Amino acid sequence: MDWQCALGLAMAREEMGEATHLFSMFGEFPTLLMAAKARGLRIVSEVYLLLETDRIMARERKQFPAWEPESSRYDSLGEESLSARVMLSHSDLLICPSAAVRTDLIVNRGVRPEASVVVPYGVASRWLSLKPAPKRGRVLFAGAAQLRKGIHYLAMAGQRLMPRIPGLEIRVAGNVSPGVARQPACSSLTFLGRIPRNQMQDEFRTADLFVLPSLAEGSAEVTYEALAAGVPVITTESAGSVIRDGVEGRIVPERDPQALASAIEELTEDRAKRDRMAVAARERARGFTWEQYGQRLLLALDRFHRAPECPASAESDLPEILSPTRMEQELT
């Protein structure tokens, strides 16, 4: 954090020309935000991760101490970091990639609903041209095999399912630590290690289902890629996905291996339902390309620019032009 503060001060010394706004990623370079605010600039910050992440993970590591060391923390991004504190106290608008992040800010941080907006992420259009060739019973997890991603709950779900579903294969594409790999529950998982991004498309193309039982995200990019590849997604609210429960996949409760196992079994066994969701998944992804993300972001910024000054911490409401209902209608 010291280097961020030093660099922020260095940037502030260069003056800000005729700038009227500053866009921040999670309050990076907090001293720059403070200087900009002091000079009258309006601050827009993107909150790309749940601020509750550090607290969530502290509880999880206490419950599963053998999986990850206690020293593995998210202080650089978490709720107690200087960047997060400055972001919350100095931002006029907070841009969230998912409803989960926005709800976290409103419920746990006291941010006014009118001072936040959801702008979902997107996926590269090339994913939409993949030709799916799913192998029945092949379940894909993509990302670091860690507690934050819910790898332990996937392992426990796998233990329940292996005796019941012949040919079930749960493939984990991503870094895995020895502490995770040696857990007895992980005998139900096939660890592929880190796979180059140009080879991941084959993993998605041949997947029957995609599963991400995450405990804390912003809006996981891999869920967009799965949708675009035509793969039904089983995930949690905390993953920040744009899937709709029962349409493009299933949304299950966090920390519930039984619910996770039931959703995997449901879609593995009911092929007609699985195939309907696969078609719906690709159709859903067509509405969330990176080009559309850019359009949605510009729309949100334009509406904010035309609204009168009203900081996120103020008690008075922003005008209707920034109302969550209207923004959600425009962004859908």
Domains of the chain, residue spans: 2-122+291-331, 125-285
What is the reported pLDDT for 332? 39
Binned average pLDDT, 10 residues per bin, the chain of 332 residues: 83 87 92 94 96 93 90 51 90 97 94 95 96 97 97 98 96 96 96 92 97 98 98 98 98 98 98 98 98 96 79 38 37 36
Question: What is the CATH T-level fold of the domain 125-285, as seen in this structure?
Answer: Rossmann fold (3.40.50)
Under DSSP, the state recorded for 185 is: G
Distances in Å between the Cα of 280 and the Cα atoms of 166, 187, 245, 250 are 27, 33, 12, 12
Global pTM value? 0.89
In degrees and rounded to multiples of 5, residue 43 shows phi and psi of: -110, 130
Under DSSP, the state recorded for 58 is: H
Q: At the top level of CATH, which class does the domain 2-122+291-331 belong to?
A: alpha beta
How many CA atoms lie less than 13 Å away from 288 in the CB half-sphere? Answer: 27
Cα(12)–Cα(190) distance, integer angstroms = 50
Domains 2-122+291-331 and 125-285 share a fold: yes
Can you list the alpha helix ranges (DSSP code H) found in the chain? 2-13, 30-38, 53-63, 82-90, 99-109, 151-161, 178-181, 197-205, 221-228, 257-269, 271-285, 290-306, 324-331
Of 213, 331, 231, 315, which is closest to residue 281 (Cα–Cα)?
Answer: 231
